[in-house]
Structure 1
């Protein structure tokens, strides 16, 4: 259980920045504001559906050699502190999972936090490459990202670059099999995490996604995601994030 409390104040968010609660949405269609997040060259997708766990509606994600997610688009400029809170549960971790290797870059559960691209900080070739991709796919690409992951080999608390790009930093908030099959609640100060990962204050937040993927390892897993929320506030001074067992 959590040894010391956190101090959270709800953020007064505009309509475009509210994260729709999984416990309240009626379906996973465009009206829910959670859109499919799919990737070029990956034809096999993970499966997401609304289910009831202990009387509460949550998302169940099933992955078996594929990858995709669900994303809520945002437009939010963080202040000095912005707390991201959620609860999740996984059926297993991936035996071949390793956040430091391309072959192991899979996670039974992850929360993907995307930030706005800052062209004034990018080189010419990076800007040109991004523009070409945007023309092909018809969508503005985000910039840096934080990925909160349920890791296998990466120790809890470690932050490492994604093996495909240093624009994405992987943050192990859970690791290993110790809490497999249990609901775990996580709270992270994404402003503090961004500063630690990238060495500067974050730009506007443009999206939050859930994703369960196994396209690199070819393994299978099921994950459950509870409501995700944003709050202004501070966490205890001895940690930027905490994980605790969530009693049912």
Structure 2
């Protein structure tokens, strides 16, 4: 698998195995300790205190692109809901996110189904804060159709740095975007990158948590 494809799907076959939990939760402190994969220069991730608690700040300068990730099997029959919060300082100007030259996002969260010995069967759903694509739009990643992008937010935030909450039914999203009714996913990652856009950007991530369908309702992206 090429580096470009790894960037798109973050193939979990190469990651360190972590035992599964009933309902995994990852604090910002835990996110900082996830493994790192650099696709260009290293995006600088650090903890930042805020009025509502600690969050993970990702400060990206032109030429930087790196992800933080963990491999952890999650049973989607028990905990299909992914819940998290994120924020951005702004968005990129004048990019086409459907092209390789525009494949940058202020914040994104990946969920990955590992293809194991058949890496071309690795699938990913990428939840993104888009610079230009309308909310609710989905499209294949510019590097591989095995990774589908879904815009949950789009355009400049109403308040730079304000944390917004998201909840998605990952099992339903894999069925909609890949036609696969998965019982399990194998990894999760986050990335703030700006190597293609060549514009500085800052993103923030709050805690990420898997929840049972009965304890949370998914929130469809709303147009702002």
Which structure is larger by alpha-carbon Rg, 1 or 2? Answer: 1
When normalised by structure 2's length, the TM-score is 0.80
Distance 2:223 2:209 in 1: 16
Distance 1:154 1:241 in 2: 16
Distance 1:85 1:184, change over 3 A: same
Structure 2 counterpart of 1:146: 125
Alignment of 1:24-35 (within 5 A): 25=30, 28=32, 32=33, 34-35=34-35
Q: CA deviation at 1:70?
A: 1.1
Show structure 1 runs of 4+ deviating over 6 A. Answer: none
Structure 1 counterpart of 2:75: 77
For structure 1, the residue ranges without an aligned partner over 5 or more in a row are 1-12, 120-126, 131-140
Distance 1:222 1:215 in 2: 13
Distance 1:81 1:16 in 2: 8
For structure 2, the residue ranges without an aligned partner over 5 or more in a row are 1-18
Paired residues, number: 203
Structure 1 counterpart of 2:43: 46
Per-residue CA distance 1:30-80 (angstroms, 9 max, x = gap):
xx4x111223xx2x1111001101151110001112100111221123117
When normalised by structure 1's length, the TM-score is 0.73
Per-residue CA distance 1:207-238 (angstroms, 9 max, x = gap):
111110011111110111111111011666xx
For the residue of structure 1 that corresponds to 2:182, the secondary structure is: coil
1:16, 1:74 within 8 Å by CA — same for their partners in 2?
Answer: no
Structure 1 counterpart of 2:100: 102
1:115, 1:203 within 8 Å by CA — same for their partners in 2?
Answer: no
Match of 1:164 among 109, 124, 143: 143
2:202 matches 1:196 = no
Q: CA deviation at 1:153?
A: 1.3
2:23, 2:79 within 8 Å by CA — same for their partners in 1?
Answer: no
Structure 2 counterpart of 1:214: 194
For the residue of structure 2 that corresponds to 1:227, the secondary structure is: strand
Distance 2:188 2:123 in 1: 13
Q: CA deviation at 1:163?
A: 1.0
2:23, 2:209 within 8 Å by CA — same for their partners in 1?
Answer: no
Match of 2:55 among 53, 58, 73: 58
2:116, 2:122 within 8 Å by CA — same for their partners in 1?
Answer: yes
Distance 2:52 2:143 in 1: 40
